[in-house]
């Protein structure tokens, strides 16, 4: 198999992704406006404008609403997020590769 090592690496990352649930606080870079204010002492103007945009999250806070705030529900949400992300990035990479190969 041509991509065996890459596939093994991706599977390992998917298996390890719920380790973030063990840490306290917010994941690095996923701060809300209140946390940004605590860290920086102010909220950058561009971020405060974007915070009011209505958005629909597929898995809000990486959790499955049916499971509530349980650890199992959060872990399942992390796994689903990882798998969906891998599928989207792989599809984009193959699509862009095909477009480039045609030229």
The better pLDDT of the pair 99, 25 is held by 99
pLDDT mean across residues, the chain: 82
Residue 37, CA atoms < 13 Å, CB-side half-sphere? 4
Helix residue ranges, H only, 17-103: 33-40, 45-50, 71-102
Residue from 84, 53, 88 nearest 76 by CA: 84
Report d(CA 43, CA 36) in Å as an integer.
6
Q: What is the pLDDT of residues 54-96, one digit of tens each?
A: 677 777 777 777 877 787 888 888 888 888 888 999 999 999 9
- Spell 67-77 as b/e; 16+ CB within 10 A means b: eeeeeebbbbb
Whole-structure pTM value: 0.62
């Amino acid at each position: 198999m041509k991509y065996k090592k890459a596939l093994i690496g991706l599977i390992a990352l998917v298996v390890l992704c719920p380790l973030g649930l063990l840490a306290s606080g917010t994941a690095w870079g996923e701060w809300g406006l209140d946390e940004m204010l605590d860290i920086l002492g102010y909220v950058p103007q561009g971020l405060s404008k974007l915070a009011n945009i209505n958005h629909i999250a597929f898995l809000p806070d990486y959790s499955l609403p049916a499971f509530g705030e349980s650890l199992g529900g959060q872990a399942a949400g992390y796994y689903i997020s990882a798998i969906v992300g891998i599928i989207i990035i792989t599809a984009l990479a193959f699509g862009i590769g095909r477009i480039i190969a045609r030229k």
